[in-house]
Chain A
Amino acid sequence: MEDVSRMCNEFDFEVRSEITKVGRSQFDVCYAYNKHKIAVIGCRDVIDGIGNSTLRIAKRIDIVTPLDDTIIHLLVSHWPSRLHCYKDHPDRQTYALRLRDQFTNILSDYGQGSYVIMLGDYNDEPFDSSLSDQLRASRDIDLVRKSKHLLFNPFWQHLSKRSDSHHGAGSYYYKSGKTTKWHTFDQLIFSPSFLNSKKWMYRHSHDLVHEIPALVELVTNAKMNFDHLPVYGRIERAS
C-alpha cells in the first residue's frame, strides 16, 4: 500500500484505503484520485442485514468536482464469488435490489438529476437478472435517455471477442470454464443523468477493458493468481 501510495503521489494522486470490517468479512476497497480534480466528501459502507448475516452491498464514496461543485456518488461493489454464492442464489437478487434502493435513496436525497456511478466486480454478467432486471442496468442507451428508471451499462458490448485483434473476451478469466473461460464481471454502470445532462456526460468508448497483451498473458496463465483485467469508464464536462 505504501509503495502504491508513493508511486501515485508522484503524479499528484492520493491513495486511500477503505478496508473496513463488516461482520466476519470486510470491504476490500482502495482507491486513488487526483486531488486537484476531485475532493472526497464522504465515504460509508452500505450493508444489508438478514438475521445475523450481513451482505456487503457497496462502498459509497461521494466526491465533488471543485470546478463546478458537482457531487458524484460512487457505489463500489465486490459481490461474492460464485464459488461462495452460486449463480442463482437468492442473495444475488438481494444484492442488486439493495443497490437499486441505494440509488433511489440518493435520487430522493439529492434530486432526480443526481450523478451516480456504480462500479466493481459483481461476479454477475450484464445479462444476469440481478443486474439487468433488479438493478435495471440496460444495454439500450436510447431507452435509458428516455426513461427515468433505467441505468446505462456500457459493458454489454464486452460479452465476446469482437475481432481477432482483441486478446480477451471479457474482464475475468476462469480457466475451468466449461462453455466459456471469459466472463464480464467487472463493470461500470451510469445513472441516466450522464446521458441527459448538460454538465457531465458519459463519454463513449468501445474498449472499456484494458486488453494489454502482457496482462492478458498473466490472466490466462494457469500458474498465476491474476484473473481480472482492468476496466474503465470516462466522463467529461459537457461544456
Chain B
Amino acid sequence: MANFIDSFNKGIKAADKARANKDEIFSVIADLSDQLSLASEGKLKIDVVEKNETMNPFSITAKDLFGRKTYSAIVASNPLAASYRPEELARWRISESGYPCHVALPDTEIYCEDKVALENALARLIATPAAGKVLQSVMNQQVLTDDDF
C-alpha cells in the first residue's frame, strides 16, 4: 500500500514553510513601509495590491473585459491624502512557496531567494529615479485639511 502518511507530513511541512516564508516577505515590505512613513512624516505607505492590465479603449471587446488579466504590484499611497490614489512602483510576483519572489524594476528583473536578497532588491527599487519620481508625486498628493471633515 502507498505510504500516504509520509506524503501528508511532507505537504504539511511544506505548507508551514511557505507560510513562514510569506510572513517573512511581507514583514520586509512592512518594514520598508514603516521606514518610508517615518521619513515622509506619514505621507507614504507601501503595499502589494492586485491590479488590472490596462486595455486599449479603442479596441476593447467583451471577451477582453471578461478575460481581463490581473497582476500584483508594489504600490505607494499617501494615507494623509484626500483620496486613495496608489501609484505603482514595480510589478511583483511571489511563488507558492514564498521564495523566490520577483521584483520588476524598469531595467532589471530580480528573483529574490531569501530575505537579504529581497531587502537588497527593495532598496535598489526605491533608489531608482523612476521610483523617486513616483514617491515624490504620492507625497505631493492633496492632503486632507480640517475643512474636509
A49 within 8 A of B: yes
Known interface pairs A52-B116, A101-B100. Does A47 touch B108 (Cβ–Cβ under 8 Å)? Answer: yes
Pick the 4 closest A-B CB pairs, nearest first.
Answer: A49-B117, A48-B111, A45-B108, A50-B113
Task: Please give, as numbers and ranges, the residues of chain A lying within 8 Å of B102 by CB-CB distance.
Answer: 101, 105
Bound together, the chains give a CA A20 to CA B109 distance in angstroms of 13
Looking at the complex, which one of A46, A50, A57 makes contact with B117 (CB distance below 8 Å)?
A: A50
Bound together, the chains give a CA A45 to CA B111 distance in angstroms of 11
B116 and A101 within 8 A (CB): no
A16 within 8 A of B: no
A102 within 8 A of B: yes
> Chain B nearest CB: distance from A116 CB in Å?
14
Provide the B92-132 mask, 1 if CB < 8 A to any CB of A, else 0. Answer: 01000000101001111111111011101100000000000
A166 within 8 A of B: no
Number of A-B contacts (CB under 8 A): 54
> Chain A nearest CB: distance from B50 CB in Å?
14
A60 within 8 A of B: yes
Q: Could you name 5 residue pairs across A and B whose Cβ atoms are closer than 8 Å?
A: A44-B108, A48-B110, A49-B111, A49-B117, A105-B93
A167 within 8 A of B: no
Task: Please give, as numbers and ranges, the residues of chain B lying within 8 Å of A47 by CB-CB distance.
Answer: 108-111
Bound together, the chains give a CA A44 to CA B118 distance in angstroms of 19
A44 and B117 within 8 A (CB): no
Nearest CB in chain A to that of B107: its residue = A44
The SS class assigned to the A binding surface is strand
Task: Please give, as numbers and ranges, the residues of chain B lying within 8 Å of A102 by CB-CB distance.
Answer: 109
Bound together, the chains give a CA A65 to CA B83 distance in angstroms of 43
A49 and B113 within 8 A (CB): yes
Q: Tell me which residues from 22 to 66 in chain A have a Cβ below 8 Å from any Cβ of chain B.
A: 43-52, 57, 60
Bound together, the chains give a CA A49 to CA B116 distance in angstroms of 8
Known: A47-B111, A57-B111. 18 other contacts (CB 8 A): A43-B107, A44-B106, A46-B108, A47-B108, A47-B109, A48-B110, A49-B110, A49-B111, A49-B116, A50-B113, A50-B114, A50-B117, A52-B116, A52-B117, A52-B120, A101-B111, A105-B102, A109-B71
A210 within 8 A of B: no
A98 within 8 A of B: yes
Bound together, the chains give a CA A20 to CA B120 distance in angstroms of 18
Nearest CB in chain A to that of B116: its residue = A51
Bound together, the chains give a CA A52 to CA B123 distance in angstroms of 13
Known interface pairs A101-B100, A101-B102, A105-B102. Does A51 touch B107 (Cβ–Cβ under 8 Å)? Answer: no
A48 and B116 within 8 A (CB): no
Task: Please give, as numbers and ranges, the residues of chain B lying within 8 Å of A51 by CB-CB distance.
Answer: 113-114, 116-117
Bound together, the chains give a CA A164 to CA B96 distance in angstroms of 52
Bound together, the chains give a CA A187 to CA B49 distance in angstroms of 39
B107 and A45 within 8 A (CB): yes
Provide the A89-129 mask, 1 if CB < 8 A to any CB of B, else 0. Answer: 00000100010011001000100000000000000000000
Known interface pairs A98-B100, A105-B93. Does A60 touch B117 (Cβ–Cβ under 8 Å)? Answer: no
Task: Please give, as numbers and ranges, the residues of chain B lying within 8 Å of A50 by CB-CB distance.
Answer: 113-114, 117
